[in-house]
Amino acid sequence: MPAERDRFGENRAAGLALRWGLRASAAVMAAGVALDAAGRDGSGLALLGVALLLATPFARALSLAAVFARGRHWRLFACAAAVLALLAFAFALGRL
Angle at 9 between CA 7 and CA 15, to 5 degrees: 140
What span, in angstroms and rounded, lies between the C-alpha atoms of 82 and 63? 14
Site for another protein in 4-63 (CB under 8 A): 4-6, 10-12, 14-19, 21-22, 25-26, 29-30, 32-33, 36-37, 42-43, 46-47, 49-51, 53-54, 56-58, 60-61
In one-letter notation, the amino acid at residue 78 is A
Query: Coil, strand, or helix at residue 2?
Result: coil
What span, in angstroms and rounded, lies between the C-alpha atoms of 72 and 25? 32
Binding site for another protein (CB under 8 A): 1-6, 10-12, 14-19, 21-22, 25-26, 29-30, 32-33, 36-37, 42-43, 46-47, 49-51, 53-54, 56-58, 60-61, 64, 68, 76, 79-80, 82-83, 86-87, 89-91, 93-95
